[in-house]
Structure 1
Amino acid sequence: MPNVEFGNVVLVRVLGRICFGAYPVFVTDGTPSPLKSQARIMRFFQASGIDLASLPVSNGTSVERNKKFTKCVQECVELLELFGMPVLKASGEAEGLCAQLNRDGHVDACITSDSDAFLFGAKCTIKSIKPNSQEPFECYEMSDIEAGLGLKRKHMIAIALLVGNDHDLKGVQGIGLETALSFVKSFSEDEVLDKLCLLGSGNTLDKIYIGDGVHNLDENITRTRCSHCSLCGHPGSKRSHLKDSCDRCSSIAGEGCVQKPVGFKCDCLSCDQGKKEKEQKKNEAWQMRVCKKIATEPNFPNDAIIQMYLNNNTNFTDDEPFMSWKNPNTEMLVDYIAFKLNWEPSFIRQKLFPLLSTIFLRNIAKHQETELLYGQYEFDFIQRTKMRYGHTYYLVAWKKPSQAVDNNNYTTPFKEPQVLEDDHELINISDDSDVTNVRVDNGCLTTDENMDLVMAAYPEKVNQFMQQKEAKEAKSRKKARSKSALTLADPLSPTSKGVQLNITQFYRSSKGEPSESSKDRNSSVEKRNARSGNFSKSARRRLLFG
């Protein structure tokens, strides 16, 4: 394979999708449009540091990808077909066909890192798939975007035109994402693209371009601002408040007003009207600046890009696209991977086993006749339940009917993780490295399987496992009750878990027992005290020393 590591990524990710419970449909790009070809050349110039002034002018023809990349894609398609996965080829953008399949209800979601899928009409996209985590993927619904941001499909197309997209990298100079977001939300979905076309054609800038986001003032309200007291800040003069008191300060006539606090803002009708008028003028000035930037942008908007996003329809040969999932061609798949990736056949079979076991359980659940690795393995029993990244699985043991193998753990030859740069994302090879981890123990292989899938395929095995589990738990509870009964019968017993044992119960101590020498010493002291009688201490000293 021209890029061995890219083939490794495709293999590992296919295994991860299938073992994750998905039925994937793969879509490849067709002939790129002239706009996409020009944008790709411009991206190459930018990445290489070449002056864009030397960029060749597009003549309206498409530029095919280089032969090395095309060959790599073709070999990946061959690999997917050996897996039995349906592979469709789009007439243009792959995201466009994915979005159409999702919009028409043929698939549940589009797995892509490119947000253009929403512009083509997708309803749900999935990105950043990480099977080995508690949050295995990020899912975005178009309905959530509409409810949370107030953006619909044409709004997002307008934003892409303003800030740039895969077919026009420049966009409008001086307009960023936040500016574009605020600007397009000023219009409804039906008028936003028409307004951009009017602005791009150089029409006069008047208030027709100010959308619904600006609140018009009531013309019946007078715009004259009344005087305010310099002391309290309320309507009226300081002299009038001193003479007639201030209603808002609740002061008495002749006592004056209350000093206004720091940062005081009057909320009277006149001041509120002035604030609204000031805010409106500010918004009008901001939108006028944006409109001028759009009007000065040459060839904006590009109608070809708008029509490509809106008229995204692929004519299938049949009423529906042909999507059929088949069983993997195991032997040819092993030979193909061994030739392209230089892996040992035994390691390839071990690597493919979780995929084959999942497909085997699906076929059994559908009452289809099938064999696992041509009858080399069969379902044995459920070892236990396993919690993996927040999800519960059955740890299923698969046995060989005739012969056994020695304990072994196959490992991939170590290679430094590399990062492959694609047009849309950076792929880290080490992301899905342990998706296909299989343990070989006493001739049995163990895999993590979905609990619902195992229940649908082998309900009797699941019931047997649950009965054994309940019996084991009942035995544990009975043993715990017997221990608690012994503890209640003899709460001070050293074997009781509820009593803290003293160290003297483990080691005998002679600290409290008098020794033979101490007994002799105590007897001599008693005799001397008896001879001394009732003499005082000083008398006994004189008798002793003379």
Structure 2
Amino acid sequence: MGVGGHFWDLLKPYARFEGFDFLRNKRVAVDLSYWIVQQETAIKGYTRNPHIRTTFFRTVNLFSKFGAYPVFVLDGTPSPLKSQARIMRYFRSSGTDLSSLPETEKGVSVERNRAFLKCIEECVELLELLGMPILKAKGEAEALCAQLNREGHVDACITADSDAFLYGSQCVVKRIQRNSKEPFECYHISDIETGLGLRRNHLIAISLMVGSDHDLNGINGIGLETAVRFVKNFSEDEILNRLHDVARGEPLVIQGDNSAEDESASCSNDKSLKLRIPHCSHCGHPGNKKAHLKFSCEHCNSTAGQSCSHKPAGFKCLCTSCYLDREEKAKQKDASWKLSVCRKIASQENFPNDEILQMYLSNHNGIDDRPHLRWESPNTEMLVDYLAYQQRWEPSYIRQRILPMLSTLYLRDMASAPTSDLLYGSYKFDSIQSVKTRYGHQSYVVKWKKAAASLRDAGNPIPQESDLPLVVDLDEPFDLSEDTDAPYIHIENGGCFLSTDEDMELVQKAFPEEANQFLKEKELKEVKSKRKKSNSATEATHEKTESSTSSGVQLSIKEFYRSSKLRNSSKPEEDSEKGSGSSNDKRRDPSPRFSKSARRRLLFD
């Protein structure tokens, strides 16, 4: 989708991979058709209503996990050129001969098929229940996304359509990989301008030459590399005018190009070629072989009467004459290449298409100067009914998956204007349990306590069935990349508690005292654990030294002499005790001077 010729591969080296907080507290325009087409082609037939499932989970993730404010943009009436290109793409993929296609009337656009329009309507109904703002473009959704980004209404666009750069987008998020340390694959127009030297008008010219969603063919014989090389010869202000001039057959004039100057310059070049200094066929240096043998070659440092050194493979002479000769040949080759490209452009009918140019350069795509963007609270009960009907999900499962979005809204409200309201009308903030680290991103695990007034019976603190998460047997595979970190409910000391993962900065703003208290307690615990570790380490080393002295472990020199002294001092006492013993004991002890075999013979003989 977008510019042809593997345009994204050209931009890939200039992509940025941003972290979890890249879109936090930022507005982002989402091309809804991109989401629907992506999941329809990926998991269609494997799950029920993949467009609804994808839209639900990605919206909850964007809003709660990444902290963004999504604005959803719908396609309007497609242009007649895009309708014709869409028909051509369909018949081309099916193998039909395009020459047999009937010509469509000029200026008549064709709507998408009814099945796709139904998917759009169902997703719009879901987004309205989620409280998301929705805008409809006059034409292409990526054009309105780019306009919102260019005029500063949003900070980025989420789309895989490279046409967004041609419409003036400043930052495009092409891919979101949730289970990653850097989930966002982003492209900034400033990086593209710096790295490739291509600005918006250059990109428009490239799309006209290689083809796009509005013209699949482009110019025959011109690929992406050729188009990029050609447009770099012109500035952003003159590139589109030069394309018009070349298409009309006017001679190509490039600023700073010496190959297109006067005829006098070409005459002087011809004279310089005729006056080229002869070179030795043996060493390749100025002069000839006979002269080098007679007078020596100053470049080879050879003596008279000896042959100069033989030139190696790939040798290039660095003298002024050869340098000018190579430069002139390169200019002639470049000039002939430019002439070939100009001939291909001039042979193309209706090039450049002014209708496509006007479409890309238009600044009015269906919004006012100040679009009305407002995020409201989800209509939870109607949302439960809608998803239970469309997806066959259990109400408890739906409430569990929507809770991260509700908690994020609650914390934002508490950070801006603290109130006595409860989360989901049932839970109040209790404490921060711990710090959770996942894929390098840290968050708080917040503990919410169910208010006693919201329980079914104050004497029976068992939570209601609708609040408890159930093990849902879905009739479709579970995609972890689209799912959220689901909250869970647990019972402690007769009370019902809910645990959710929340942004640390948002919790700090909403409940500063509780957050500071948690950080102090955490710091004290870390200090105590360090002390315990150090004490246990010292005790372990002390026990190790004691055991090493008592056992037959090899000692250090100091420890060896210290232990030998103690043994020597205890020997007289032992000898006196032995001396007071009976003579029979002395007879029993065999002399240590006899070997073991000798003692055995004495015993049995």
Scaled by the length of structure 1, the TM-score of the pair is: 0.84
| Distance in 1 of aligned mates of 2:515 and 2:258 | 64
Among 231, 237, 241, the alignment partner of 1:194 is 241
CA RMSD of aligned residues (A): 3.1
Partner of 1:58, secondary structure, is: coil
Q: How does 1:353-392 map to 2 (within 5 A)?
A: 353-367=403-417, 369=419, 371=421, 373-392=423-442
Relative distance call for 1:72 and 1:185 in structure 2 (3 A) is same
The answer to whether the 8 Å contact 1:164/1:171 transfers is: yes
1:525 aligns with 2:601: yes
Match of 2:344 in 1: 293
1:164 aligns with 2:217: no
The answer to whether the 8 Å contact 1:360/1:370 transfers is: no
Match of 2:537 in 1: 484
The answer to whether the 8 Å contact 2:85/2:216 transfers is: yes
| Distance in 2 of aligned mates of 1:477 and 1:215 | 75
Match of 2:568 in 1: none
Partner of 1:70, secondary structure, is: helix
| Distance in 1 of aligned mates of 2:151 and 2:393 | 41
Cα displacement (A) at 1:183: 1.2
Match of 1:432 in 2: 481
Residues 403-443 of structure 1 show CA distances to partners (whole Å, capped at 9, x for unaligned) of 345997645544555xxxxxxxxxxx836333243333334
Cα displacement (A) at 1:459: 1.3
Match of 1:468 in 2: 521
Match of 2:358 in 1: 307
Match of 2:389 in 1: 339
| Distance in 2 of aligned mates of 1:337 and 1:261 | 77
- Comparing 484-493 and 407-416, the one that deviates more: 407-416
Among 32, 37, 49, the alignment partner of 2:78 is 32
Match of 1:50 in 2: 96
Relative distance call for 1:53 and 1:445 in structure 2 (3 A) is farther
Relative distance call for 1:212 and 1:333 in structure 2 (3 A) is farther
Partner of 1:25, secondary structure, is: strand
Match of 2:202 in 1: 155
Partner of 1:493, secondary structure, is: helix
Match of 1:420 in 2: none
The answer to whether the 8 Å contact 1:487/1:493 transfers is: no
The answer to whether the 8 Å contact 1:25/1:88 transfers is: yes
The answer to whether the 8 Å contact 1:330/1:373 transfers is: no
Match of 2:451 in 1: 401
Among 282, 287, 294, the alignment partner of 1:231 is 282
| Distance in 1 of aligned mates of 2:553 and 2:408 | 53
Relative distance call for 1:372 and 1:64 in structure 2 (3 A) is farther
The answer to whether the 8 Å contact 2:54/2:482 transfers is: no
Look up the equivalent residue of 1:304 and give its one-letter code. E
Match of 1:329 in 2: 379
1:103 aligns with 2:153: no
Cα displacement (A) at 1:488: 5.3
The answer to whether the 8 Å contact 2:401/2:484 transfers is: no
Relative distance call for 1:411 and 1:186 in structure 2 (3 A) is farther
Relative distance call for 1:233 and 1:415 in structure 2 (3 A) is farther
Look up the equivalent residue of 2:449 and give its one-letter code. K
1:5 aligns with 2:58: no
Relative distance call for 1:468 and 1:241 in structure 2 (3 A) is same
| Distance in 2 of aligned mates of 1:186 and 1:96 | 28
Look up the equivalent residue of 2:446 and give its one-letter code. V
1:282 aligns with 2:333: yes
Look up the equivalent residue of 2:201 and give its one-letter code. K
Partner of 1:392, secondary structure, is: strand
Partner of 1:441, secondary structure, is: strand
Residues 106-127 of structure 1 show CA distances to partners (whole Å, capped at 9, x for unaligned) of 1001111101111111111111
Partner of 2:327, secondary structure, is: helix
Look up the equivalent residue of 2:91 and give its one-letter code. F
The answer to whether the 8 Å contact 2:247/2:346 transfers is: yes
Relative distance call for 1:373 and 1:333 in structure 2 (3 A) is farther
| Distance in 2 of aligned mates of 1:207 and 1:522 | 116
Give the % identical residues. Answer: 50
Match of 2:560 in 1: none
The answer to whether the 8 Å contact 2:156/2:173 transfers is: yes
The answer to whether the 8 Å contact 1:376/1:400 transfers is: yes
Relative distance call for 1:374 and 1:264 in structure 2 (3 A) is closer
The answer to whether the 8 Å contact 1:109/1:123 transfers is: yes
Q: Structure 1: 5+ residue runs without aligned partners?
A: 418-428, 502-513, 530-546
| Distance in 2 of aligned mates of 1:151 and 1:160 | 12
Relative distance call for 1:373 and 1:528 in structure 2 (3 A) is closer
| Distance in 2 of aligned mates of 1:67 and 1:231 | 77
Partner of 1:444, secondary structure, is: strand
Cα displacement (A) at 1:53: 1.7
Relative distance call for 1:489 and 1:63 in structure 2 (3 A) is closer
Cα displacement (A) at 1:302: 1.0
The answer to whether the 8 Å contact 1:36/1:166 transfers is: yes
Partner of 1:242, secondary structure, is: helix
Tell me the number of residue pairs that the alignment of Structure 1 and Structure 2 aligns.
Answer: 498
The answer to whether the 8 Å contact 1:111/1:126 transfers is: yes
Cα displacement (A) at 1:447: 2.3
Match of 2:12 in 1: none
Partner of 2:176, secondary structure, is: coil
Match of 2:314 in 1: 263
Look up the equivalent residue of 1:476 and give its one-letter code. S
Residues 507-528 of structure 1 show CA distances to partners (whole Å, capped at 9, x for unaligned) of xxxxxxx9xxxx9986550257
| Distance in 1 of aligned mates of 2:191 and 2:371 | 28
Residues 368-422 of structure 1 show CA distances to partners (whole Å, capped at 9, x for unaligned) of 54745532222222221122112111122223223345997645544555xxxxx
Q: Structure 2: 5+ residue runs without aligned partners?
A: 1-35, 41-47, 453-460, 555-588, 590-594
Look up the equivalent residue of 1:13 and give its one-letter code. R
The answer to whether the 8 Å contact 2:138/2:366 transfers is: no
The answer to whether the 8 Å contact 1:15/1:436 transfers is: no
Match of 1:505 in 2: none
Match of 2:192 in 1: 145
Relative distance call for 1:321 and 1:131 in structure 2 (3 A) is same
The answer to whether the 8 Å contact 1:187/1:212 transfers is: no
The answer to whether the 8 Å contact 1:13/1:432 transfers is: no
Scaled by the length of structure 2, the TM-score of the pair is: 0.76
